[in-house]
């Protein structure tokens, strides 16, 4: 594992106040990373504050375009929970949850498709294009990218009992041909986590799971998951900068990793075990966190490896 120092939000300096000497140091530091990762695929799960804060949106788009320009192949998989909640409120829809999972009836699924595959996806595509990139939006239906099946939610307390939560899906398979074709033509794929089943229905899938599975199938060099926290924290709130599969199992067992972090870290370790070289849970509240994580010695989160 490469030696890295951690980068804290309050230590961030904007380009406007960097001296020429510091700028030169940053650029020279990036060169070996550019060489190492040239031609490699990096999957980015985009969500949290980075999706809603205007200045962070711009720094994210800038980073994605720059990575593509230096020969790295970024793929963006986005979430959109808060945007879905807001859209449901506007149509007077009251959400129902079972064990933290949204019950997604047909009307709710229509809203999910409109928000994720329409509004949110196109905002990201336009933002990247405005910064000089060539982004293309995809859902699971495009090129049969994400084949889904209905999720069976096991009851936490009654073994053998399952809850019907509607059109919430699991990934049956990923067909990456369309993503590879776009990458070869210098496009940046932006993927909404909507899968399609043999039954003809669309299914809402956890974006962390989609990002992890796409990274696995494409044998990505890195999977980067942007969050609203500094990374994975221990019980005392201290950042864990490096984790292995064995250590993560211990953190699951003692409850250190719980709630919304569970699917994220489960997807991360599955990807690491399945051939993704490294997985990073990074603080998306730090401007240019992607460049800092990929092209410098600075660490902005938790690095996860299989061993």
What residue numbers does the annotated binding site for substrate cover? 80-81, 102, 204
Q: Torsion angle, CA of 66/72/73/77, rounded to 10 degrees? A: -60
Q: Torsion angle, CA of 210/248/282/127, rounded to 10 degrees? A: 0
Q: Say how many CA atoms lie within 13 Å of 70 toward its Cβ.
A: 19
Length of the chain in residues, anyone? 307
Where is the binding site, in residues? Answer: 80-81, 102, 204
User: Which residues are CB-neighbours of 241 under 8 A, at least 6 positions away?
Assistant: 4, 6, 231, 299, 301, 302, 303
What distance in Å separates the CA atoms of residue 216 and residue 219, rounded to the nearest whole number?
5
- φ/ψ (deg, to 5) at 115: -75, -55
Write the Ramachandran bin of 139: left for phi over 0, alpha for psi from -120 to 50, otherwise beta.
Answer: beta
Helix axes 106-114, 81-90, angle to 10 degrees: 120
Give the torsion sign (CA, 64, 65, 70, 74).
Answer: positive
What distance in Å separates the CA atoms of residue 136 and residue 179, rounded to the nearest whole number?
10
């Amino acid at each position: 594992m490469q030696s890295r120092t951690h980068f804290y939000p309050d230590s961030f300096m904007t380009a406007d106040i960097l001296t020429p000497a510091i700028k030169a140091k940053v650029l020279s530091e990036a060169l070996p990373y550019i060489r190492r990762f040239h031609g490699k695929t990096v999957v980015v799960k985009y969500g949290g504050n980075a999706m809603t804060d205007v200045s962070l949106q711009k720094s994210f788009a800038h980073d994605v375009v720059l990575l593509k320009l230096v020969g790295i192949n970024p793929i963006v998989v986005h979430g959109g929970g808060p945007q879905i909640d807001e859209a449901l409120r506007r149509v007077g829809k009251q959400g129902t949850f079972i064990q933290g999972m949204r019950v997604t009836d047909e009307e709710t699924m229509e809203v999910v498709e409109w928000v994720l595959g329409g509004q949110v996806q196109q905002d990201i595509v336009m933002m990247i294009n405005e910064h000089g990139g060539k982004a293309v939006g995809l859902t699971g239906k495009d090129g049969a990218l994400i084949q889904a099946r209905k999720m069976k939610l096991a009851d936490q307390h009654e073994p053998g009992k399952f809850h019907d939560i509607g059109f919430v899906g699991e990934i049956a398979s990923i067909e990456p041909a369309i993503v590879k074709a776009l990458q070869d033509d210098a496009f940046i794929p932006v993927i909404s986590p909507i899968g399609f089943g043999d039954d003809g229905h669309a299914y809402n899938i956890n974006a962390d799971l989609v990002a992890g599975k796409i990274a696995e199938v494409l044998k990505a060099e890195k999977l980067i998951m942007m969050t609203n926290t500094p990374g994975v924290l221990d019980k005392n709130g201290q950042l864990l900068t490096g984790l292995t599969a064995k250590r993560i199992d211990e953190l699951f067992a003692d409850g250190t990793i719980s709630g919304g972090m569970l699917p994220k870290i489960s997807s991360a370790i599955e990807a690491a075990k399945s051939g993704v070289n490294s997985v990073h849970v990074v603080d998306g509240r730090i401007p240019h966190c992607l460049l800092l994580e990929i092209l410098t010695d600075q660490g902005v989160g938790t690095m996860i490896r299989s061993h």
